[in-house]
Structure 1
Amino acid sequence: MLRVLKQYYPVRNIFFVIGEGLIIYASVIFAGWILLGVKPFIIVKSLLITLICQICLYYNDLYDLNVTYSSGELGIRLLQALGVATIFLSGIYFVFPKAIISGSFFFALTIGFIILFSMVWRLTWSLVLNKDMLNQKIMVVGSGELARNIMNEIKNRKSCGYVVAAAALESYDDADFADEKNMAVFCREHHAGLCNIAKDMKIKKVVVALRERRAGFPTKELLDCRVSGIDILEGDSFYEKLTGKLSVEHINPEWLIFSEGFRTSLFSRFLKRSLDIVLSFTMLVLLSPVILLTAVLIKIDSKGPVFFSQERVGEKKKIYKIYKFRSMVADAEKQSGPVWAKANDDRVTLVGRFIRKWRIDELPQLWNVLKGEMSFVGPRPEREFFVKGLEFIIPYYGARFTAKPGVTGWAQVSYGYGASVKDATEKLNYDLFYMKNMSISMDLVIVLRTVKTVISGEGAR
C-alpha cells in the first residue's frame, strides 16, 4: 500500500486512476488530431479536460472500486459524470475563452472516445479483479476477533489488493475457519512449519493477529520468514491501513502506546486554527443570503425559534453551546428526553428535511468555529447525557476529547449517522484514526469527501 495524504491506498488502485487519466487525456488528444491535426496547444489544454472529467467521475462514485456496476449502469454513470463535466467546462470556457480547444463537434467526439475507451478499460479491470490476478497473497496468524475482522474486511473490500491464502490457527477449537474456500487452514503446535508453508504458497506478507502472544509466540518461524524476505506485519497496524480506522474492542494497549501518531506540531495547530478563522468568516459572508433565506423559511414553516442551541462536550470536556438551524418541531424532546435522531423521524419539519439532507442546518456552526469552540474538521461533538454513559461502555472513549470537535470529520464521511452504542463505537474507531493521523492534508481529504457526501445527500437524518 502507498500512503497518500495520510491515507493508505493499494498500488493497483492508484494505477487504475492514473491509467484512466491517461486514457481520458489520450482521447482528447486523439479527437484533436482527427479534427485539427497536430497542434501543440492541444497537449496543454487537454489537461484541464482530463482533470475536470476525473473529478466528476470521483464525485459520481466511479472510483469506488468496491462497487461493481453492470455494463448498462456503468455507461449511464459515465454519461452522468461527463455531462456534469461538460457543464463545468462550459462555465470555465465562458470565463476563460482561450482555454477552448475547438467547437462543439470536437467536444462531442471527445466525450464519445472517453466513454468508449473508459468502458473498455473498466470492464477489463473488473475482469482482472474478479480473477484475483493482481491480489497479493497473505497469511493470517491467529484466529481471534482481530484475525477474523481482518479476513472479513479483505473479503468485503474487493479493491484492497489482498487475498487470504492461508490461516495459521491458534487452537483446534477454531475449526469454523475450515469453512473458508480457497484458503489453506492449519493448526500446529508453536506454528511449526509456518515459514515453509508461506514459501511454498508464494505468500508475500504474514499478518500476526494472535489472541495471546505471551504463550506460543512463533518467534523462530516468523524470524525465518523475515530473513527469507517475507514481510511480517503487526495485526493492529495492518487493520489500520486496510480500513482507515482503529478497533477499540480488541486493540492492544501496548501497540497504541508505541505506535506513531497522536502528535501535531505547534505550526500545524496554528495553521489549522488560522484556516478555521479565515474559512468560517468567508463562508459566513458568502453564504449570508442562504442563511437569511433559510431563517425565513423556518419561520414560515413552523412555530418556534429559527436557531436551535444545545450543550455539547468539546475539547478537554469543556461544555459549550452548539448552534444549528432548527429542523425539528419546537421542544422536540419535551416528552421523550434526550434521544438519538432516527430515520424518518416524525419530529422533523418539512423545511427541516430539506436543510438536513443538504446539511444547511449545520451552517450556524461556522459561528462556533469562528469563536474557537469547534474546528472545521474533528470528532463530532456529542451531548453530555450520552457521553457519561458511553465512557463506561466503550474503551478509550475519552480520547476523542483531546481534539476540538468538528463540523465534519473522518467518522462522518466514513460511516455516516450513528444512533446506537454500536454505531458510537464504530465512529470512535474512525475518530481515533483521525486523531492518530491528524494533519492539514488529511483535513483536505475529509473536506473533499464531505462535499461528495453533501452532493449525494447520503447519511442525513
Structure 2
Amino acid sequence: MVAGRSVRAGGSLLVSLRVQALVSLVLAVVLPAVVRYQDLVQDGLGNAASRNSIIAAVVGVVFGLFLLRRVTEFPGTRAYDLILPSYATSYGLVLAFLFASRFEYARIYMASSFGMAIVTSFIIGYWLDRYGVRRFYVVPAGNVETLLANEGVDWVIMRTPEVPAERFAPIVADLHHDHDGEWERTLAEAAVRGHPVYHTKLLGESLTGKSSIDHLSENSFGSLVPNLAYRKVKRVADVVGCIVAIPILIPVLLGIALIIRLDSAGPVLFLQERMGYRGQPFRMFKFRTMRPRPPIEDEEDARADAMTRTDDDRVTQVGRFLRRSRLDELPQVWNVLRGEMSWIGPRPEAVSLSQWYDGELPFYLYRHIVRPGITGWAQVNLGHVTSLEDVNDKLKYDFYYIKNLSAGLDILIVLRTVQTILSGFGSK
C-alpha cells in the first residue's frame, strides 16, 4: 500500500507481512496435514507425494499472499474482492507445474490447503478492517485541503516541526510549497530515519486511483512518455498471450458465432472504426450484440448511435448475455495480435465519439499514447459511460493508468476484470 496501516489495540501483529505469512502457513499448510491427513505428517519429506504436496502448498500460500499484497497496493481495491482470484492464480500455477512435470501430489490435501488459505485471508482481512486504519501525519502548509477531504483515512495534523514518535509513521506534505527551514529539516530528518514522506498530489492520486488532468503533469519517470521499457515487455506479453489463447478460444468463438446466427438475422461480427494507438483509427472486431441497422450519415446522429443506452432496445437476447459476460469482446484478440490493441489499456472509443470528446475535454488526445485495451483501469472502476462528465472522470482513471504503467497494475486489472465479468458491473 502507499503506506502501512496503523492499528488500534489488538490488531498490530497482523499488520506485518511476516506474521501474515506465518499464520497462513500454519493454517493452510500444517493444519490440513495434522487434522486430516496423518500420512503426510508421518511420512514427512521422505515420501515423494507428501514432499511435493507440502512444498507446493507452501509456494501456493506464499505466492498468493505476495500477489494479494502486491495488487492491493493500488487504490480503488478491496482485498476481499481479490482474495479468491489471487490464490486461484497462485495455486493454479503450482498445480499446472505439478501436472506438467508429472510429479505425484495429494489432490485432496492441495484442495484443503487452497480452501484454508482463502479462509485465513478473509479472517486476516476482517481483523485488519476492524482494527486497522491508514494514518498519515500532515504538514499543515500549502495545498493540503483537497487531500484531507479523502475519507477512510486518519489524518493527523502536525502542530510542531518534530518527527512523529510513531515508528515509520508516514508523513505527507505539499513538496511544491516553500516551507520554512524548520519544517524542511524535519522532513529531511524523517526521511533519514525511515519515515515515508509523500507529496500531497501523488498521495491523492494513489488514494483515488485518478490523475488530475488540469495540466499535462509528468509521470514518475520524469517524462510525458510512459514506461518505455515496460511497454516493450507488454507488447511481447500481448503476442505470447494471443498465441496461447487463440487455439483455446477457437471452439468458443465458433460456438458463440453459431448461437448469434441462430438468434437473429445479420452478420456474426460487428466491425467499427475506433480511435487507436497514437490517434490512428482502426477497425475493431466484436461479436454483434444488436440488431443490424443502416449506416447513418449525419455526424450528430452517428455520435448518438455509437452510444449504448441503459436497457437499449437494440440489444438482442443473446447480445445482452454476451455484453454482460464481456464475451462479445473476444474477437479483439485479433486486434491485439495485429498490434492495434493490447489486452490491457484505455478502451478505444468510436471515432465520432473520440473526436467529440477531443474537442470538449482538455488533453483527451493524451490517452492515445498507449495501445487501447480489451479491458482497462477505467473499465473496472467505472464501467461503460458516455456523458461528458462521466467521460471526464473516466479520463482521470486512464491518465492514472498511463502514469503508473506497470506489471503490478496490469495484474490488478486482470483480477478486477474477472470480478467484473462475474458481477456484470458496468455493462449496458
Task: Tell me, in whole angstroms, the C-alpha distance in 2 between the residues paired with 1:264 and 1:114.
Answer: 36
Task: Tell me, in whole angstroms, the C-alpha distance in 2 between the residues paired with 1:237 and 1:267.
Answer: 22
Please point out which of 281, 288, 291 is paired with 1:329. 291
Q: Provide the residue aligned with 2:129 in structure 1.
A: 126
For the Cα contact (< 8 Å) 2:52–2:103, is it kept in 1? no
1:12-411 equivalence runs, <5 A: 15=15, 19-27=19-27, 28-34=29-35, 35-36=38-39, 37-38=41-42, 39-40=44-45, 42=50, 45-49=53-57, 99-101=104-106, 121-129=124-132, 132=133, 135-139=134-138, 141=140, 147-148=145-146, 150-153=147-150, 155-156=151-152, 162-166=153-157, 195=161, 204-208=170-174, 217-220=178-181, 222-229=183-190, 232-249=197-214, 256=218, 260=222, 262-263=224-225, 268-331=230-293, 337-339=302-304, 340-411=307-378
Amino acid at match of 1:25: L
Question: Offset of 1:387 from its aligned partner?
Answer: 2.2
Deviations, residues 41-71 of structure 1 (Å, cap 9, x unaligned): 6565235346667869x99xx97997699xx
TM superposition score normalised by structure 2: 0.74
TM-align CA RMSD:
4.6
1:438-449 equivalence runs, <5 A: 438-440=405-407, 442-449=409-416
Matched-pair identity in %: 27
Task: Tell me, in whole angstroms, the C-alpha distance in 1 between the residues paired with 2:96 and 2:219.
Answer: 51
For the Cα contact (< 8 Å) 1:141–1:206, is it kept in 2? no
User: What is the aligned residue count?
Assistant: 399
Task: Tell me, in whole angstroms, the C-alpha distance in 1 between the residues paired with 2:286 and 2:417.
Answer: 18
Deviations, residues 334-364 of structure 1 (Å, cap 9, x unaligned): 6954232233222211111111122111111
For the Cα contact (< 8 Å) 1:362–1:407, is it kept in 2? yes
2:393 aligned with 1:426 = yes
More displaced stretch, 377-386 vs 12-21: 12-21
Question: Offset of 1:308 from its aligned partner?
Answer: 0.8
Question: Offset of 1:96 from its aligned partner?
Answer: 8.0
Question: Offset of 1:318 from its aligned partner?
Answer: 1.1
Question: Offset of 1:247 from its aligned partner?
Answer: 1.6
Q: Provide the residue aligned with 1:414 in structure 2.
A: 381
For the Cα contact (< 8 Å) 2:219–2:226, is it kept in 1? no
Question: Offset of 1:110 from its aligned partner?
Answer: 6.2
Task: Tell me, in whole angstroms, the C-alpha distance in 1 between the residues paired with 2:231 and 2:156.
Answer: 44
Q: Extract unaligned runs of 5+ from structure 2.
A: 8-13
1:225 to 1:288, Cα distance in 2 relative to 1, 3 A:
same
Q: Provide the residue aligned with 1:437 in structure 2.
A: 404
Q: Extract unaligned runs of 5+ from structure 1.
A: 2-7, 157-161, 168-192
Task: Tell me, in whole angstroms, the C-alpha distance in 2 between the residues paired with 1:87 and 1:256.
Answer: 38
Deviations, residues 24-44 of structure 1 (Å, cap 9, x unaligned): 421231332352345136565
1:404 to 1:78, Cα distance in 2 relative to 1, 3 A:
closer
Where has structure 1 moved over 6 Å in runs of 4 or more?
11-14, 62-66, 77-97, 106-116, 200-203
The secondary structure found in structure 2 opposite 1:346 is: coil
The secondary structure found in structure 1 opposite 2:33 is: helix
Amino acid at match of 1:30: L
Task: Tell me, in whole angstroms, the C-alpha distance in 2 between the residues paired with 1:278 and 1:86.
Answer: 22
Amino acid at match of 1:315: Y
Question: Offset of 1:436 from its aligned partner?
Answer: 2.2
1:337 to 1:114, Cα distance in 2 relative to 1, 3 A:
closer
Amino acid at match of 1:387: S
Deviations, residues 260-317 of structure 1 (Å, cap 9, x unaligned): 3544677644443333233224323321111111111111112221111111111221
Q: Provide the residue aligned with 1:180 in structure 2.
A: none
Amino acid at match of 1:353: R
Question: Offset of 1:403 from its aligned partner?
Answer: 1.7
1:288 to 1:259, Cα distance in 2 relative to 1, 3 A:
closer
Deviations, residues 131-173 of structure 1 (Å, cap 9, x unaligned): x4xx4332264686x732x2343x14xxxxx521238xxxxxx
The secondary structure found in structure 1 opposite 2:190 is: coil
The secondary structure found in structure 2 opposite 1:206 is: strand
Amino acid at match of 2:349: E
Question: Offset of 1:229 from its aligned partner?
Answer: 2.2
Deviations, residues 377-417 of structure 1 (Å, cap 9, x unaligned): 22211122222332233232111112221122222233322
The secondary structure found in structure 2 opposite 1:407 is: strand
1:139 to 1:274, Cα distance in 2 relative to 1, 3 A:
closer
